[in-house]
Structure 1
Amino acid sequence: MDKTDQAILYELQLDGRISNQELASKVNLSPSPCLRRVKQLEERGIIRGYTALVDNEKYGLPITVFVRVELVRHSAEVVKKFEQEVSAARNVLECFVMTGRADYLLKVVVKDLHDYEHFVRNTLQRMDNIASIDTSFAYGVVKHANALPNTL
């Protein structure tokens, strides 16, 4: 990947609906080579897809919760089952495997505290092999970036 590819990716991350003509102009290419590069980035899996960014609050899920989960055991079976169950949980937007005390960090969205309680009681606590659940509520956002930084 070169600087032009990174410039294309940056612009697409800022506006995934940008026309090829406008994208080509922003990255100093003619339209045909620009479109060819975008297609190559898609084929190589660097561009995984396109999506709409939705406002959580206006959607009705204004509360973001970070949940640290520690497992009782770490066998391949336990880990696989936990990861499958978390992947199926609709309120979990992201799940990271962590170093340190917690094994996983979940980013969860809910409509209110009652909804979070329901999520814990009916989703998390029903999963096997969870040793602990530690919760932090986000009460503000300082920065949320959609574009990866240029590295070249």
Structure 2
Amino acid sequence: MNFELDATNQKILEALVANARIPITELSKKVGLSKTPVTYRIKQMEDVGLITGYRAILSPLKLGLTNVTYIEVRVSDTRQKALEDFNAAVRSIPEVEECYMIAGGFDYQIKLRSRDMAHYREIMAEKISALPHISSTTSYVAMEAVVEQSWLNL
């Protein structure tokens, strides 16, 4: 499929990122096209995989998850099966907001949300430490969110 991320598509994406529930009529007015071409463009961006879905974004703060901790994880086994085991296990921990495999001085970085330090200690003791193949962890508690973005500027 031939697809171009032109200025109009960028405007559509910016509007959808700001409010995925924006009515097509309102979106059409914002981008200066009628409803049919806007609907077509959205469908096209979904078909090429640029738009991968729509979801409700919950406020961790309103849910009482005010503590953010970044955890460096070193694993004892980096063979493919061991990494797959770790990946599957870490995905099952609901307090894990993000987890990345890292090339560097450690193997994974986890972003964990918890209610407070006591809750964090409980998650570390019962869930993170129980992950397969962990050899060590180092934790960093965030003091303040300076920038949090859910998308990149187009």
**Fold conserved between structures, TM > 0.5:** yes
Deviation at 1:45, TM superposition (A): 2.2
Question: What RMSD, in angstroms, separates the aligned Cα atoms of the two structures?
Answer: 1.2
For 1:9 and 1:51, how far apart are their aligned partners in 2? 14
Q: How does 1:1-152 map to 2 (within 5 A)?
A: 1-3=4-6, 4-150=8-154
**DSSP-derived class of the 1:25 partner:** helix
Structure 1 runs of 4+ aligned residues shifted over 3 Å read: none
Does structure 2 retain, via aligned residues, the 8 Å contact 1:10–1:147? no
Which secondary structure state, in structure 2, belongs to the residue aligned with residue 13 of structure 1? helix
What is the Cα deviation at residue 82 of structure 1?
Answer: 0.2
Q: Distance in 2 between matches of 1:102 and 1:93?
A: 19
Deviation track 1:6-26 (CA, whole Å, cap 9, x = no partner) reads: 221111111111111111122
Q: Which runs of 5+ in 1 are unaligned?
A: none
Name the CA distance, whole Å, in 2 between partners of 1:94 and 1:52: 17
1:59 partner SS: coil
Count of residues in correspondence between the two structures: 150
The alignment's TM-score, normalised by the length of structure 1, stands at 0.92
Contact 2:89–2:132 (Cα < 8 Å) also in 1 = no
Report the identity percentage: 29
